[in-house]
Amino acid sequence: MKNELLVATHNQHKKEEIQQILGSRYKVTSLSDYGLNEEIVEDGETFHENAQIKAEYCFEKTQRASLGDDSGLVIEALDGRPGIYSARYAGDHDFDKNMDKVLEELSGVHNRRAYFVTVLCLVTADETTFFEGRVYGTITKERSGAKGFGYDPIFVPDGYETTFADMSTESKNKISHRRRALDAFLEAGQ
């Protein structure tokens, strides 16, 4: 019998990515599977707070083990921006505008160090637990690649010469911040 894990998302791509990483031990479900269509207000001030808000909402509505995920891009030279506002930095989920804003703000800036972070919050009847994954790299001066989503076309992970958007999905999923957070979840014996 597979353990069900309700992921606080409507994003089918994210659901499938998590299912692929977790494998056959879990049956990953989403908000859509439960007909939960109201918007979850993410008004936390940290990735941890926003992940917990999402997980608690799902658990409260379904009484199922629930996983909230909050991810973003943190850029040193921008004092950590876009951070928790990554998805709506220049426009709500308009990543073309978001990337344009980042590239404009970094114009002429030498320090282009950044990292992607994913914080997962698992809420069950017994506990609330956090797992974090990060991947460090640099921001490019222009976009490259057509794969991936979000800021992938402007982020080159350390040890690589191509952006996440230039990598195959399989290659990215082996080293991504979400993968590292899910690996921590699995290592904890969840």
pLDDT tens column, 101-146: 999 999 999 999 999 999 999 999 999 999 999 999 999 999 999 8
Burial 65-91 (b: 16+ CB within 10 A, else e): bbbbbbbbbbbeebeebbbbebbebbe
DSSP calls for 138-174: EE-SS---SSS-TTGGGEEETT-SS-GGGS-HHHHHH
Residue 166 falls in the annotated catalytic set = no
- pLDDT, one tens digit per residue, over 49-85 is 999 999 999 999 999 999 999 999 999 999 999 999 9
Confidence band of 38 (pLDDT split at 50, 70, 90): confident
Q: Is the pLDDT of residue 180 over 60?
A: yes
Average pLDDT estimate for 5-9 = 94
The number of angstroms, rounded, from the C-alpha of 101 to the middle of its chain's C-alpha atoms is: 20
Strand, coil or helix: 188:
coil
Closest CA to 165 of 95, 117, 103: 95
Q: Is the pLDDT of residue 10 over 80?
A: yes
Dig out the tokens for 114 from the structure. 């950044």
Q: Is the pLDDT of residue 18 over 80?
A: yes
Rounded-to-integer distance, Cα 117 and Cα 83, Å: 9
Confidence band of 98 (pLDDT split at 50, 70, 90): very high
> Cα dist. 184→30, 124, 165, 188 in Å?
21, 17, 24, 6
pTM: 0.91
Could you tell me which residue, 79 or 38, shows the higher pLDDT?
79
Q: Is the pLDDT of residue 163 over 80?
A: yes
Sheet with strand 128-139: strands edge to edge: 26-30, 3-7, 66-75, 113-123, 128-139, 155-157
Could you tell me which residue, 93 or 96, shows the higher pLDDT?
96
When the pLDDT of each residue in the chain is averaged and rounded to a whole number, the result is 93
Candidate list 70, 79, 92, 126, residue with the active-site label = 70
